[in-house]
Chains A and B, each alone.
Chain A
Amino acid sequence: MVGSLMPWWLAGPLFGLTVVSLYALANKHLGVSGGYRQLVLLARGRPMPEPWRLWFLGSLLAGAAVAAVVFGSPQLGLSYGVLGHKLNLGALVPLLVLGGAAIGYGACWARGCTSGNGLTGCSTRSPGSFLATTTFFAVAVGTTGLIRLLSGGAL
């Protein structure tokens, strides 16, 4: 069902309303990477400072499952967009794990990810979140350009 996605002018304000709802109802800062941090602490038998994030994370997966039925699933099974067409699994899996490790390490270091810093931190007018957001956008654009250059335009 490609081409039937929710339009940007509707998705944008709705994302904003989820951020506002969580603050207005429960006084909580919306963010995803914090949820995975709780999971790591739980696995290590350490106390979780914010166990509520696990409820949010679990239901995020469920909400995405519902949307996948309506709008089509992103990267179902072993597919991974154009990257999946261009790389075989032997190269793709290690690359994804490596990229994931940079995401996890960087998100902790920057005190948040695209949601906690980008969507929510910028909305609470935090200069630190704005700094992190500008940095990861700039570096991601730069890295994408570099990958394109090094792969001779293939990736």
Chain B
Amino acid sequence: MLRRNAVYLLVGLCFGFLLTASGLSRYDVIHRMLRFEDWDPYLIMALSVATALPLLWLLQRIGWVTPLGGRLSLAYRGTERRQVYGGAVFGVGWAITGACPGTVSAMIGGGSVLGLAVLCGIILGIRAFEATEETQAERAAAAAQRGAALSSAPALSPRRR
């Protein structure tokens, strides 16, 4: 357990260090990237994937057993509509703030007060999403219950409006 937490701590330290060291946690850098005036962030992300993808593929192929988490199993996510909708909403926020959850954390770590404003928004957004999800789940459960009641005793349970 202790060794596991040490891994999370070390990788987190490196990731946070890189976010600031590379300049990705600056509004100006991301804003210039989105205006195609600075290509460095695109190159950073492309090189990151170009490094990690073949290495992870290789580890998966040789059946790598991780020292702390059993046999390596890479998360596979198929395509869903929600990734397009969510990605679109995320993209709007990214363009407005020039920040994402990682870079805003790096900003705050570096002493940014306005980064906290973005973070408050992120927390509110996550809470709002959970509320939406819970309402949908409740509606689905209620609909299923109504459906079951109707099919089991159609004559005895008149449809309520």
| Chain A residues in the interface with B (C-beta under 8 A) | 5-6, 8-9, 11-30, 32-33, 35-37, 39-40, 52-53, 55-68, 70-71, 73-84, 92-93, 95-111, 113-115, 117-129, 131-145, 147-148
Contact = CB atoms under 8 A, between A and B. Distances in A.
A2 B5 CA distance: 34
Contacts of A144: 31, 34-35, 95
A108 B122 CA distance: 10
Contacts of A73: 20, 110-112
Given A78-B113, A110-B83, A126-B76, A66 B17 contact: yes
DSSP class of B's interface residues: helix, strand, loop or mixed?
helix
Interface of B: 4-5, 7-28, 31, 34-36, 40-41, 43-53, 55-57, 59, 64, 66-80, 82-115, 117-130
Contacts of A124: 53, 56, 74-76
Nearest to B118: A100
Given A11-B18, A58-B9, A59-B8, 11 more contacts: A25-B69, A60-B19, A68-B111, A74-B23, A83-B27, A101-B93, A102-B121, A124-B76, A137-B91, A139-B87, A140-B95
